[in-house]
Amino acid sequence: MDILNKIPKDKLLHFFAGSVILFLSLLFFNTLASISIVVFVALIKEIVYDDFLGKGTPEVQDFIYTILPCLFHLINILF
Q: What string of pLDDT tens digits covers the 79 residues of the chain?
A: 677 688 899 999 999 999 999 999 999 999 999 999 999 999 999 999 999 999 999 999 999 999 999 999 999 999 9
The pLDDT score that the predictor gives to residue 11 is 95
CB 69 within 8 A of CB 18: yes
- According to DSSP, residue 50 is labeled I
Can you give the residue ranges of every domain in the chain?
9-78
- Beta-carbon contacts of 56 under 8 Å, excluding residues fewer than 6 positions away, are 49, 50
Please report, as a single letter, which amino acid is at residue 58.
P
Residue 1 is predicted with a pLDDT of: 60
